[in-house]
Structure 1
Amino acid sequence: MSAGDLPDPAEMTDQLLDEDTVRQVLTEGTLEISGRLTDASNLTLLAVSSLDGVELECVYKPIRGERPLWDFPDGTLAHREVAARRIAEYAQWDCVPLTIMRGGPYGNGMVQRWIEQPDDSPDLVDLVPAKKIPRGWLPIMRAVDTGGADVAVVHADEDKLKLLAGFDVVVNNADRKGSHILTTAAGGVLGVDHGLCFHTDDKLRTVLWGWAGESLPDSVVEGLARLATGMAGDLRLEMDEYLTVTEIDTLARRIDYLQMSPLYPMPPRGRSAIPWPPL
């Protein structure tokens, strides 16, 4: 697609743009900073990418703004975010917004399409009184609040959330908080903030443990088959841009294992299974 092929800006909104157009605008557009998410642990900037009159809101995380971590190599979080999107895309799981690597005002970094939350967007993860867990919701942790009342962290039992939980197992997501789960105006469920993925050690930390020990749904199993094929060929070559050889080998083994034993894992006993804060 060339710049001249872009749709008339007057006739298009963010929600109506096709994926090719979104990718072109995010990749080739002029990136201008419009704000900052101050509660993020790494530098996370709001931006607008503009190309031939078409504007898209996006999130820009420059590599130079990443804080060093003790367990992940420095300067790799943006690459992991792009790799996570590519895994979801290859598996045909619509669970991660379009994410690319590109240059920007503060250097190379991850750029991801901004997902506007509808005003009536339902909470899929919540904190509720322990004795008032909604019907159809799954408890994953009980605690005591500052007032001494028993409370529970719960999540909805929904197919799209179940797919996202399967994706997290595949990419070994160490930071699936409730705030990292978004719903779209069309009813989709998307995950964001995937910088802490693809570690060679078992790092899965998530608020989506409600299906632990259960069989993976068909949507996840079918995606695993696509990923297994890709990891024997073109997808493995693509992952070379973002991950180390050891991390790619570990990812391939995890996919193979899940194909042989297509179950959601049980929470680990020797370390924290839930990120903090969970919501």
Structure 2
Amino acid sequence: MRVALKVAYVGTGYHGSQVQPDVATIEGELFNALTDLEIIDDPKSARFSSSGRTDAGVHAREQVVAFNTDKPNLAIPRVINSKLPNSIWAWAHAEVPDDFDPRRWAVSRKYRYIMSGEQYDISKIRAASKILVGEHDFANFCSKDEDKSTVRNVERIDVRVSGTLTKIDIQANSFLWNMVRKIVTALTMVGSGVRDEEWLTQMLDPESYEEGLEPASAYGLTLMEVKYPDPIDWCEDGYAIRRADENVHDYMVRHRVMAEVMESLVPREER
């Protein structure tokens, strides 16, 4: 039987999602859990695949993975999570066709980037984001791979303010390496007045204009959703979701405390 999982993770501390030798990765932890539980013998024979890779420090709410197993009764989130660190958890599973490939079958993906928005003109960012929607050559917005086309269709970009933070949701048929983070860099350059919309339009014409961009920091990026043409009958695991909520709450408390600690490390003049 072929089983698919929705997996979430806090990417901090991992060298990306794809397995690599001698470093901690999301897939490495998943492989260890699945083999320890004897759900699979090894990733290759189980035809393990994922909906895509995320870079070091990038997070996910809905990474989709699939594998073959003859123990589907064990291939459920609450069992698999018992062998995973608290920073990684499965939260839904489904039986899928034998030829299901979570990467090739995907029709779109959505990423969210969260950043401090206090120093940017949000109206300029929103106006600039409209220029990027549609089918364009994003060669200036990626770390290039010579074997791949750099044309992509960005279906929508939503920009909204939440307190002192700005959230940018980007949905496309697929993404190039570092594409989201470089789009964020470009939008913040326009939002800060360093560049204008005319420059952004030029950036979409790489045959006549070329410029390198530094990708925005990885810690603000999350893979939010992967969409497929035919509905998958996902079974969400309420217990796994409740445990994940508890773990995330602990992360949030820790980081709030650390923010205050960092603030206290720098001497301030009395006011």
Larger C-alpha radius of gyration, 1 or 2?
2
Q: Please, what TM-score do these two structures have when normalized by structure 1?
A: 0.24
Q: TM-score scaled by structure 2? A: 0.25
RCO comparison, higher one (Cα < 8 Å, 6+): 2
Higher strand share: 2
